[in-house]
Chain A
Amino acid sequence: MSTIEFKQVTRVFKRDGEDFLTIDGFDLTVSDQEFVAIVGPSGCGKTTCMRMVAGLEFPSTGLVSVSNKPVISPGPDRAVVFQQFALFPWKSVFDNIDFGLRAKGLPQEKRYEIITHYIGLMNLQGYESAYPHELSGGMQQRVAIARAYALDPDVLLMDEPFGALDAQTRVVMQEELVKLARRNPRTVLFITHAVEEAVYLADRVVVMTSRPGKIKEILDVKSIREAEGWDSHSKIEDVMDLASFVHLRTRIWKSLREEHGSDDH
């Protein structure tokens, strides 16, 4: 059982001696094997929320816990897929995935087996000994996803993982992630500013307000997706054409629009 819990989390950010409240009264529970996406205007603190689960940042007040244990440091039980990939340029594809497995102290045959499995799953065969700079952005992000999944983490944290990709690659990666997530369900916290992506991937979508970031509303996508049979379509554009999808997307768009409006003054 792997869950993520935010209890009354606030986060104060100091700049030039002044306190800025970036996250306020954030309460959220992600249940075991649930895929939750957080969307919100830029600067609303959604990335900070993810980083607090990762143990890379900490709440000013309140509590963030994973599987009922407070988060005190980063660790391989909470794998992160970073927006800018964060692959090690001096390590090959194989070694990038292997690095975390070695740190876990797994025997060589076991590591080899795991790496081969995820390299296959992410369509990276033949690129084991390539270096990151030799790969396209989409391929690099596949390696980063393989690296995260290979750790066999309790929870997966993704920070706008497809934000740096071009539109076509992005769609392919979204489809692959959906396949991977449905076949290999995990507890996932997914940060994005792309509404369609959130609706397509997530079981629930959390909409945040602009700064200070609070939860504005939480939408249940899973029940609609299952009722309307989205997963019977393999192509993202077919899903995006469905009235139920369009309706949800528009609903979230409007909700976010209000936030942008209040941001503009």
Chain B
Amino acid sequence: MKASAKDMFGTAKLSLIGLMAFLGIWYLVDLSQLVSTKFLPMPHEVLLKLIELFHIPFAGNLLQDHMMASLQRYFWGFGLAVLIGVPLGLLMGWFRWLDDVVTPLFDSVRFIAPVAWVPFAALWFGTGAGGPTLIIFAGAFPPCLINAYRGAKGIEVRYLEAANMLGVGSFKTITEVLLPAAIPSIIAGLRIGAGLGWLSLVGAELIAASSGMGYLIVKGQAAVATEIVMAGMLSIGFVGVLIDVAIRKMESFLLRHRQN
């Protein structure tokens, strides 16, 4: 169902009201001296700092370079999670024995918070690219695997029967029937995985990195520059939204031939 122009305008208006109210309360708290502006910088200060960070380096780099450093690690970690998690999940849905081998292992590991891997990540892969990549991977991998697995398990039997009847072999059935049938579930997993991976990234960089947006925040904290911390938080949120939008675009592209 498409929203009419009038509805869109109404939604935009309400969103704007929410944002204004939020900023209003923020200013009010600052101006009333309830909290020192040292601890809660005013919105316009944060915005100015954010712009400044694009051309005056902080913590060794410009903001866009911190972003790039973070995104690079992120795409390694998330990419590996997708490349390993999705095929493994599909195959676990296909081969019963693989399901039996992997599931107990996986279940015992997946409730460990990604950040708990920090000590080992740093020990094994260092604080450059490897360590944070592992932590992002730890965050993004479980949803990728679980959703691919559920998508494979939930396939309508008639598609498998049709493939069987047509004499299609296992490999082609997995790549041309199981995978496309599981795509909606896989994409849902990618969205969750992308979010958790992004959350883990900042956690990883808070502790085990020497560049990136998480690192920028730590350095901001050390310098008691709260407007830098907030500018960092703001950019993290913004990039996270962009990543989600990109995955949703990919989803509508992949599902362009399906109903709904």
A binding-site residues for B, Cβ under 8 Å: 54-56, 73-76, 78-80, 82, 84, 86-92, 99-100, 102-104, 131, 133, 147, 151
Q: A18–B241 Cα gap in the complex (Å)? A: 55
Answer whether residue B249 sits at the interface, using C-beta atoms and an 8 A cutoff: no
Answer whether residue B158 sits at the interface, using C-beta atoms and an 8 A cutoff: yes
Q: State which residues 147-189 of B face A: CB under 8 Å.
A: 158-159, 161-169, 172, 176-177, 180-181, 183
Instruction: Please state if B168 and A103 are interface contacts (CB–CB under 8 Å).
Output: yes
Q: A76–B164 Cα gap in the complex (Å)? A: 8
Instruction: Please state if A86 and B257 are interface contacts (CB–CB under 8 Å).
Output: no
Answer whether residue B259 sits at the interface, using C-beta atoms and an 8 A cutoff: yes
Instruction: Provide 14 A-B residue pairs closer than 8 Å at the C-beta atoms, listed in order of the A residue.
Output: A55-B164, A56-B164, A73-B164, A74-B164, A78-B165, A88-B176, A91-B176, A99-B163, A99-B166, A100-B166, A102-B172, A103-B167, A104-B167, A133-B257
Instruction: Please state if B161 and A76 are interface contacts (CB–CB under 8 Å).
Output: no
Nearest Cβ on chain B to A219's Cβ, whole angstroms: 29
A104 contacts which chain B residues (CB < 8 A)? 167
Answer whether residue B2 sits at the interface, using C-beta atoms and an 8 A cutoff: no
Chain B interface residue count, CB cutoff 8 Å, equals 20
Instruction: Please state if B258 and A86 are interface contacts (CB–CB under 8 Å).
Output: no
Closest-by-CB residue of A relative to B158 is A86
Q: A56–B177 Cα gap in the complex (Å)? A: 18
Closest-by-CB residue of B relative to A73 is B164
Q: A75–B259 Cα gap in the complex (Å)? A: 29
The one of B167, B177, B258, B259 that contacts A100, using a Cβ cutoff of 8 Å: B167
Q: Say yes or no: A74-B168 contact (C-beta < 8 A), given A99-B176, A133-B259.
A: no
B258 contacts which chain A residues (CB < 8 A)? 89-90, 131, 133
Instruction: Please state if A100 and B159 are interface contacts (CB–CB under 8 Å).
Output: no
Closest-by-CB residue of B relative to A151 is B166
Closest-by-CB residue of A relative to B166 is A100
Q: Say yes or no: A76-B167 contact (C-beta < 8 A), given A82-B158, A86-B162, A88-B162.
A: yes
Q: A133–B177 Cα gap in the complex (Å)? A: 17
Q: A130–B172 Cα gap in the complex (Å)? A: 22
A90 contacts which chain B residues (CB < 8 A)? 180-181, 183, 257-258
Instruction: Please state if B259 and A89 are interface contacts (CB–CB under 8 Å).
Output: yes
Q: Say yes or no: A88-B167 contact (C-beta < 8 A), given A131-B257, A133-B258.
A: no
Q: A75–B161 Cα gap in the complex (Å)? A: 10
Instruction: Please state if A103 and B172 are interface contacts (CB–CB under 8 Å).
Output: yes
Nearest Cβ on chain A to B260's Cβ, whole angstroms: 9
Q: A80–B163 Cα gap in the complex (Å)? A: 11
Instruction: Please state if B177 and A74 are interface contacts (CB–CB under 8 Å).
Output: no
B177 contacts which chain A residues (CB < 8 A)? 88
Instruction: Please state if A82 and B167 are interface contacts (CB–CB under 8 Å).
Output: no
Q: A54–B219 Cα gap in the complex (Å)? A: 68
Instruction: Please state if B257 and A89 are interface contacts (CB–CB under 8 Å).
Output: yes
Instruction: Please state if B162 and A103 are interface contacts (CB–CB under 8 Å).
Output: no
B257 contacts which chain A residues (CB < 8 A)? 89-90, 92, 131, 133
Q: A171–B205 Cα gap in the complex (Å)? A: 68
Q: A76–B168 Cα gap in the complex (Å)? A: 9
Q: A90–B151 Cα gap in the complex (Å)? A: 15
Instruction: Please state if B167 and A75 are interface contacts (CB–CB under 8 Å).
Output: yes
Instruction: Please state if A82 and B166 are interface contacts (CB–CB under 8 Å).
Output: no
Closest-by-CB residue of A relative to B254 is A90
Instruction: Please state if B165 and A88 are interface contacts (CB–CB under 8 Å).
Output: no
The one of B161, B172, B176, B259 that contacts A82, using a Cβ cutoff of 8 Å: B161
Closest-by-CB residue of B relative to A95 is B176
B183 contacts which chain A residues (CB < 8 A)? 90
Q: A103–B162 Cα gap in the complex (Å)? A: 13
Q: A75–B167 Cα gap in the complex (Å)? A: 5
Given contacts A92-B257, A99-B163, 20 further A-B contacts (CB under 8 A): A54-B161, A56-B161, A76-B166, A82-B158, A82-B161, A86-B159, A86-B162, A88-B159, A88-B180, A89-B257, A89-B258, A90-B257, A90-B258, A100-B166, A100-B168, A103-B167, A103-B169, A133-B258, A151-B166, A151-B167
Q: A56–B172 Cα gap in the complex (Å)? A: 19
Q: A92–B258 Cα gap in the complex (Å)? A: 11
